[in-house]
Amino acid sequence: MTENLYDIDVRTIEGNETKLGDYRGQVLLIVNVASKCGLTPQYEALERLHERYEGQGLRVLGFPANDFLEQEPGSDAEIAEFCTTRFNVQFPMFSKISVTGPEKHPLYRHLQAEAPATRRREEMEQSLAGYNIQATEPPEVVWNFEKALVNRDGDVVCRYSPTVTPEDQELVSAIEAALTRD
What tens digit of pLDDT does each residue of 101-123 get? 999 999 999 999 999 999 999 99
Q: What is the CATH number of the domain that holds 43?
A: 3.40.30.10
What's the pTM value of the predicted model, to 2 decimals? 0.96
> What is the per-residue pLDDT across 10-62, written as a single tens digit (0 to 9) for each?
999 999 999 999 999 999 999 999 999 999 999 999 999 999 999 999 999 99
Is residue 138 included in any domain, yes or no? Answer: yes
Domain membership flag for residue 66 = yes
C-alpha–C-alpha distance, residues 63 and 94, integer Å: 5
Calpha distance 69→36 (Å, rounded): 9
- Whether 2 shows a pLDDT value over 60: the answer reads no
Nearest to 23 by CA among 164, 154, 134, 139: 154
Number of folded domains in the chain? 1
Please report whether residue 162 resides in a domain.
yes
For residue 161, give the amino acid letter.
Answer: S
> What is the average pLDDT value for the chain, to the nearest integer?
95
Q: In this structure, is residue 107 part of a structural domain?
A: yes
Residue 15 lies in a domain: yes
Would you say residue 182 lies in a domain?
Answer: no
CA separation for the pair 47, 156 (Å, rounded): 21
What is the number of other CB atoms lying within 10 angstroms of the CB of residue 83? 23
Angle (CA) 142-143-148 rounded to 5° is: 75
Q: Which residues does the annotation mark as catalytic? A: 37
pLDDT band at 181 (very low <50, low <70, confident <90, very high): confident
Instruction: Evaluate whether residue 181 is within a structural domain.
Output: no
Whether the per-residue pLDDT at 1 is higher than 80: the answer is no
Task: Summarize the confidence of residues 71-95 as an average pLDDT.
Answer: 96
CA distance linking residue 107 with residue 3, whole number of Å = 9
Mean pLDDT of 143-162: 97
pLDDT of res. 182: 59
Domain that holds residue 91: 5-176
